Structure 1
């Protein structure tokens, strides 16, 4: 049976489904990717903020007024100070869920604040300063690096609302058309302002689409195609954070490496299609037994990992109970005269901090115990070294 490729899956979604996906909270892998993106944005912000210091000097050299130069310099210094603050917060190991929204609000509002100050100095400058207005576009586009569509839509909506308010205020405070004319900035008219608002909307839509594509690609790279379970990629990205949280809370995190016993006989006797159905049967049983705070991961073939926020002894009891239930629910190959097959598994369990503090160490310990279970006759769970 042919499965649609990634492009076909994404293109088949309706606009409403895409919007819902963008508005939804990203999965844990995407949040980890987004945390790295936030740090990258913070570093870029520092570089951009440093470059902004050059703009007031360029304005002064090109014949700009002293007031405009001082306004630009003050705004650049303000942005540089906060850029360092955001960078330090982004570098911390602890993930602040509000940080992305706070920095997006800062990027957009700082642009608005500079435009407001320019308006007090020279009314047309507030709406025809393309360099400052372009910072709205930068703020929107940079949200793509965070991998969270909610921040993109937030940035776009905030930019449109704030810039729209500036447009309304400038036209309201202009006593006559002459006040909207400038030898430096040209004439301020409604048409170009509406176009700029539309450009902000378009930039938001394009950036949100890019984020959506990124989210779907990351989701598919971290999801097993047959069972829709998280896969090895998910485990590699997510486990460090789970171990970190367990350590911060002085808790335990156990990992069970599960391997189905004699699984090749199903492929040999009933065919690979039946083997796929048998894998899905096992996943259905295992998922039915796992609790909400536990995660079942498929490493590949007939090998799985069960992640449990529990100490070693409790984890062993959980996995052994799952083993017994699976043995009581035979798989029906539905082919020829084959009788329902009783499926069993062997498992090795390791826990942090008792057996190690990183994924690699825990997997090695669990694999060693899994091999012991195989040698001792299979269909058993071992949580201690012999």
Structure 2
């Protein structure tokens, strides 16, 4: 059911590609937050220029704006590359919601009606919820919406419980604070959360389709390009090597020619199954294109060669059978290995070096792994 899939996906932690995109989204949110903070500072100044300055509202707005500007610079600094702090979106989202509540609380000191009915300040709840869509994490959207509903509801409950005079709930500028108005705004927050969550759900589906291979279920080139910088960052931090193995199936076109396209698709899934059985926890297998794959391993080139050669022998010893009554087809691959950072500082240079060694393996008779030029 679509409804079950929707809620299940929202509650599920995002995959690697979504986290990478979300890191860029957090930086974009930080820049928007810094801009909105400057706009927020302009509101009390605008009231002064137009002669509509209210001491209580002006003080609350000014303090809130200054606080927002100071923290926005901190969040912007933390969001800049190469930092990828997974807790940062949660902290900044809680900050966005709570800062709005604090400004409303400052307005309450002079006028309870202003604290509950100020649409300009209350709208920042909506901005905080909508900005979670840029992080591509449905859990964050639900968290933002739930926190906004809880904090605004708590604020309203305290006002109605502590204000002893109905006259204090009325303001010339903000009207009368009513329970029905509060409930309507709580409903608007829930609607904004649902709409934003739907946007996140659609984004996740689109990214999933663009970042994964439909036939084998493996990550594709798009995901490799997005994730590789974080893999090198992790290798740099831990001080380990990173080997990129480019492998291509030998003479695979004959499977399609002899057994048909459908059998060729099953043969590719057979190859992936054999390769996956030999993977270790931190290995990463990617289908690059056609019958070409990339295997990234956090090991030196020598160890990568040993493991790739073992996978080569395992595949050669596990022939593919197109049908129950058909003769088995022996599948092999050739591979070239490049090691970061010795063979190149980025993905394109490593792929180029691995491709040269793959070509050498093909020229030397195929069904072999080459880790260095001869």
Q: Offset of 1:92 from its aligned partner?
A: 3.6
Q: Offset of 1:62 from its aligned partner?
A: 4.2
Q: Offset of 1:176 from its aligned partner?
A: 2.3
2 CA distance for matches of 1:222 and 1:317? 29
Question: Which residue among 272, 277, 283 is the counterpart of 1:288?
Answer: 277
Question: Which residue among 322, 340, 365 is the counterpart of 1:333?
Answer: 322
1 CA distance for matches of 2:368 and 2:337? 11
Residue 44 of structure 2 corresponds to residue 44 of structure 1: no
Residue 243 of structure 2 corresponds to residue 254 of structure 1: yes
- TM-score, scaled relative to structure 1: 0.95
Instruction: Decide which moves more: 74-83 or 17-26.
Output: 17-26
Q: How does 1:7-156 map to 2 (within 5 A)?
A: 13-60=1-48, 61-156=50-145
2:163 aligned partner: 174
1 CA distance for matches of 2:12 and 2:51? 47
2 CA distance for matches of 1:62 and 1:125? 18
Question: Which residue among 186, 190, 194 is the counterpart of 1:197?
Answer: 186
2 CA distance for matches of 1:65 and 1:252? 63
2 CA distance for matches of 1:163 and 1:59? 25
1:363 aligned partner: 351
Q: Which runs of 5+ in 1 are unaligned?
A: 1-12
Q: Offset of 1:65 from its aligned partner?
A: 2.0
1 CA distance for matches of 2:259 and 2:38? 67
C-alpha offsets along residues 247-273 of structure 1, whole Å, 9 cap, x if unaligned?
122111101101001111111111111
Residue 252 of structure 2 corresponds to residue 300 of structure 1: no
2:223 aligned partner: 234
Instruction: Decide which moves more: 62-71 or 367-376.
Output: 62-71
- Alpha-carbon RMSD: 1.1
1:346 aligned partner: 334
Q: Offset of 1:226 from its aligned partner?
A: 0.5
- TM-score, scaled relative to structure 2: 0.98
Q: Which runs of 5+ in 2 are unaligned?
A: none
2 CA distance for matches of 1:105 and 1:204? 15
Q: Secondary structure at the match of 2:112?
A: coil
2 CA distance for matches of 1:185 and 1:218? 44
2 CA distance for matches of 1:250 and 1:292? 18
Q: Secondary structure at the match of 2:67?
A: helix
1:163 aligned partner: 152
Write out the 4+ residue segments of structure 1 that deviate beyond 4 Å after TM superposition.
none
